[in-house]
Amino acid sequence: MVAYPSSLKRTYKADKIPIQTDLQAVADLKTRTKPLQKWKIESAYWPEFRQNIDETITTFLITEDINETINIFSHIIKESANKLIGKIKPSTHKTPVSWWSGGIAKALRETKHLTYSKTQYTENNIEFERLRSKSRYLIKKKQKRNVAKLYLQHLNLGGFYLVKFHYQ
């Protein structure tokens, strides 16, 4: 990455002299990574996997070049694993953050409502209704999670206690 500074011909009525830089940078596309996929190891049938590797190794000729032989062998293992073991798609579940609280949710709700009430545009009304329904869904989901957590805690104590849960 190289930057060449040069002063501009016009100052655009600025107090300071602006400097123009020509930035020549190339994005490295290899830095992007796919989400990691895990192998289905629990459901794999290993004797069939081993047999498939043995059968495919006998069809390939071993060459004098050790690097080429290693590449062929690793390709055989990867292809057999893809075909017989398979992969699990990565989970898209996001863990909840610890700093989130009910006060933050209330402030966000009020902000969205104020945005709509100030402008009264149809687009804002649609956005407000969409966000309000999303917040209702998230609140219900959180309350269900809390009830389930309380239920499990009381089961772990050895007895079940009736828990009265109030919606906010």
pTM strictly above 0.85:
no
Are 45 and 74 contained in the same domain? yes
Q: Domain for residue 25, yes or no?
A: no
- On whether both 84 and 106 belong to a single domain, the answer is no
Please compute, for residue 104, the number of CA atoms within 13 A of its CA located in the half-sphere on the CB side. Answer: 5
Measured distance CA(166)–CA(145) in Å, rounded: 14
Q: Given CA atoms 130, 131, 136, 138 in this order, what sign does their dihedral have?
A: positive
Going by pLDDT thresholds of 50, 70 and 90, the confidence category of residue 38 is confident
In this structure, is residue 163 part of a structural domain?
no
- When pLDDT is cut at 50, 70 and 90, the band that residue 81 belongs to is confident
| Domain contains 161 | no
Angle at the Cα of 65 from the Cα atoms of 59 and 68, rounded to 5 degrees: 60
Instruction: Provide the token pair at 163.
Output: 């828990």
Q: What's the start-to-end Cα distance of the chain, in Å? A: 54
pLDDT, residue 167, reads: 46
Residues in the chain: 168
Domains in the chain, number = 2
How sure is the predictor about 33, in pLDDT bands with cuts at 50, 70 and 90?
low
Model confidence at 6: pLDDT above 60: no
- β-bridge partners, 23: 3
- List, for residues 112-165, the tens digit of each pLDDT value: 777 767 776 777 778 778 888 888 888 888 888 888 777 777 665 554 444 444
Distances in Å between the alpha carbon of 10 and those of 14, 18, 73, 92?
9, 9, 64, 51
Residue 112's domain comprises 102-147
Confidence of residue 46 (pLDDT cuts 50, 70, 90): confident
Give domain status of residue 167, yes or no: no
Euclidean distance between CA atoms 105 and 124, whole angstroms: 19
Residue 97 DSSP one-character state: P
- Cα-Cα-Cα-Cα torsion 117, 118, 119, 122, nearest 10 degrees, comes to -10
CB 128 within 8 A of CB 116: yes
Residue 164 lies in a domain: no
